[in-house]
Structure formats: C-alpha cells, structure tokens
Amino acid sequence: MRQIVLDTETTGLEAERGHRIIEIGCVELLNRRPSGRQFHRYLNPERDIDEGARAVHGINRERLLSAPKFGEIAEELFGFISGCELIIHNAPFDLGFLDMELTLLAKVRGAGGALPAAVRSVCMVLDTLSLARERHPGQRNNLDALCKRYGVDNSHRELHGALLDARILVDVYLAMTGGQSLLALDEAARERSGIARPGQAPATVRPPEPLRVVAATAEELAAHAELAALLDQSSGGGCLWLQLEQEPAPAREPPSAARIHRS
C-alpha cells in the first residue's frame, strides 16, 4: 500500500480570494513505513503574503522570487502522488488550494494535457482531522494537540513548514491508527521467519523435537495488558486481544447418558 502524507503552506487562508501555495511537502509511506522518498518545493506565488500567514510559517515574498511557479513543478508533483492515498490534516484546505492551482493552470494552458482537473480524480484522500474528531470528540485536534496526546515530539517546530509538518503528521497518523508500522516485517524478515506472502500457502516445517511451552511471567502478563490497553485506546476500541480475552469460555458438554449409566 502506497500512501503520501502531504501538507502545504500558503499566502493566506482563502484560495477563492486569490491566495496561492508557497510550499508543498510530501512524505511517502510504503506498507505504513516511511520509504525515504519525499517531494518538497517552495513556490513563487506571484502575489504578496498576508501578515497573518507569514507569522505562521515565517516565509516572506522576497525569499520566493527565484522559486519556480506551480506550473513548473505540477507534472513532477502529480507524477509523485497520482494513484496513492493522500493523508492530509484538514484535507479540504489543502485540496482547495491544489485544485485552485490546477484551475488557474488550465486557464493558461487550456483543457487537456497530463494534469487532472482535481486531486481527488487521481488520489484517494484520508483526512486525519476528521479521523481525530471521530476518535476524540469534543477535544482539540490540531496537530500540536495530537502530538501531545500521542507522545509525538514536535519540540523542534517553532514555525509551520510543509515538509516539517508532513513528517510530524506521519508519526501522528501511525500512532493514531495503531502504530502498526512498528509491527511490520520487511520482505527479508518474512523470508527468514517463513511468513507467507499474500496468496501464498505457508510452508509446513516439522520441528525436530516437541515444542516446549513457556508460560508468561507475571511481569510479562502485566506488560501485555498495558500494551493491549494502549492499542485499544489508540484504535478506538479495536484491539482484538482484549476482545478475545473478554469472550466467555465455551461451556463443557455434560457427560453422556452412557457414561452416567456406567458410573
């Protein structure tokens, strides 16, 4: 599964009023693990930057005068993100700006070409703000609040930045959805452990001697319970361990009439 965590910085808050993107940051996840690939560009917005926006990200117009315009990096951007699932915090905001940039570019270049009319036509989208509101109703769910809630270190974040915020959102998303990237096995580990690929029957290996069963210690049981509780909280009550442990044990069948008669 290929996912791209994406964030933007802009000249202001409203794309409909002519505000533009000035920074795009993307981080690639493969099977919920950072691949090391990323996409990062500063852009020349061809307009002034609002004071309120500049206070958030610290980027001024003079810094962007020699940066490329959106049309110069659009094909590269969509070559990177097309066909993936985009993970965005407050997705309507970023998508609104990206779609507006596509609209402006289409007016200059005309219809057709390699670029889509809208981001959702080439990507699925997961909004982590909507996900956080489902998991934590009535609480603050901005990125800083989620970092604090899930123990993600953002102490190095003095100002917003598209790539910096995308990297932070990677950690928040993985923590919020169970942190299962920590449990993932790479291909080499699968081969070493004998775990089958999807659709492949696992090989049957007969141990050379009877398996030795080792009971968990009290400390190990306590650690298991603590981990299960953490996974249950972060997954919104979806921890299968706890669900299985809470199921009642099957009732024993009563002795047969023949056994009662013989006794």
The total of other beta-carbon atoms located within 10 Å of residue 154's CB is: 17
Tokens for 248? 């009642």
Place of tokens 């002034």: 48
Residue 59 to residue 67: CA distance in whole angstroms: 12
Diameter over CA atoms, the chain: 98
Residue 194 to residue 202: CA distance in whole angstroms: 7
Catalytic residue positions, numbered: 160
Coil, helix or strand at residue 37:
strand
Q: Give bridge partners of residue 30 from the DSSP assignment.
A: 2, 33
Radius of gyration of the chain (CA): 26
